[in-house]
Homo-oligomer: A and B are copies of this chain.
């Protein structure tokens, strides 16, 4: 493979697994199992004991492998790793993932081991991901080095989102969460890179920025190894692809916890926020916002502006949504006169035909859908939030699902440009809300548990739209 070592981590055509074992309770086997199931390239197994696993020969070391493999994943005790890395360098293998723990994260002795690894690859062209990591998931290439079985950590289907984090816990939690969120297409390239002794955030952002299968970049960072280069790369990418960042380790307490966890250096949090904003990076506050934004970016267009339309049958929630719209710096769109007249003509006098559109507790499924449609076609609305209280006595949940599905499917066919604006759904209630939520997810409409949460995500999208607009201005003026 003639690509650079970082690309090769995600696109390798041949892989060696060091620490291969036929013992189906062991981590080494789980990695083999992943590759046997998904990898179309050439697989080589390595274990100092030699022998055979599932009819495949086991080489005693990487030097014995008859070809120069593109990439190696190492899952053996820390004290044996050094010599394997030396062999990789000798053989000219450029991409090495070290999953083994027992390095800088366990104290001074481990730190020395790790420093020796870094020295070994210096100026050789070989790059190391890890140590102390779960490595790579790249569904399109069939690469999956995660040593945890699929029933413990979900593997979302291939899709447009690339994600990187040092933390194995964060990485596996996000994979499981997206996998669990639905059957959709999710992950393009995923890397959880542990101690980051060599490969770091700059390598990933650069690669994912130019990777054609990546449409959205998401990352969790506790600190920057090279903040300047990271921002320099991000600046080239954000006008074309959104970058979403969960930057923890924001406070003194967080910094103390992080020193033990990944030995990252805390930066002044306000400076980090300002720089991210300037470079068009979307900074989310927590894990849930990250997964929610992943779902919104994957399925919805970026709204053209900040003018929100709210359709609901719960007046109390119209009020709290209005509060949240103002809090998030968004606005309620002023309905077009024509829309207003159409609503007035359709509904009984006690419905509040405006924005928010309050259809009250007497709403029917058909009336609710009618409101959504009018908002979809109103030129003064940039994004729609529907807040459904399914317990309204005349609101039939299954009727609603059917009418709404028909509409969404047809609108995508018939009005691909003009009519599509982002739609977000909140349903408040018990079992009926689960029925609606499940259907919405199937229709690629992001669901949220409260209006406030939906509007926080809309805010991020609108801020990104503002950045894109501002950026276009700068470009036109030759200032970007």
Contacts and interface: CB of A to CB of B under 8 A. Distances in A.
A258 B319 contact: yes
Interface string A178-191: 01100000000000
A320 B169 CA distance: 12
A172 B391 contact: yes
B152 A249 contact: no
A137 B172 CA distance: 44
A349 B389 CA distance: 53
B433 A361 contact: no
Number of copies: 2
B288 A169 contact: no
B315 A285 contact: no
Interface string A232-268: 0000000000000010111111101110111000000
A5 interface: no
B257 A356 contact: yes
A390 interface: yes
A322 B428 contact: no
Contacts of A312: 169
A256 B429 contact: no
B389 A322 contact: no
Contacts of A453: 286, 288
A452 B451 CA distance: 18
Contact of A180 (B105, B358, B430): B430
Contacts of A325: 253
A438 interface: no
A107 interface: yes
B248 A323 contact: yes
A316 interface: yes
A326 B252 contact: yes
A180 B286 contact: no
A177 B30 CA distance: 40
B167 A360 contact: no
Nearest to A246: B320
A428 B286 CA distance: 12
A176 B251 CA distance: 38
Contacts of A180: 429-431
A393 interface: yes
Contacts of A101: 350, 360-362
B323 A253 contact: yes
Given A428-B177, A432-B152, A358 B452 contact: no
Contacts of A253: 322-323, 325-326, 331-332
A350 B319 contact: no
A368 interface: no
A305 interface: no
Contact of A167 (B257, B314, B450): B314
Contacts of A361: 101, 168-169
Contacts of A362: 101
A130 interface: no
Kindly list the 6 A-B residue pairs having the minimum CB-CB distance in the complex, ordered from nearest: A169-B314, A167-B316, A176-B430, A261-B315, A106-B350, A173-B428
18 contacts: A30-B393, A148-B392, A148-B393, A166-B316, A167-B314, A168-B314, A176-B428, A179-B430, A180-B431, A251-B327, A253-B323, A253-B331, A257-B321, A261-B319, A261-B358, A262-B315, A286-B324, A286-B450
Given A167-B314, A177-B428, A285-B452, 13 more contacts: A101-B362, A176-B429, A220-B316, A249-B323, A251-B322, A251-B326, A254-B319, A254-B320, A257-B358, A261-B316, A286-B453, A287-B452, A288-B453
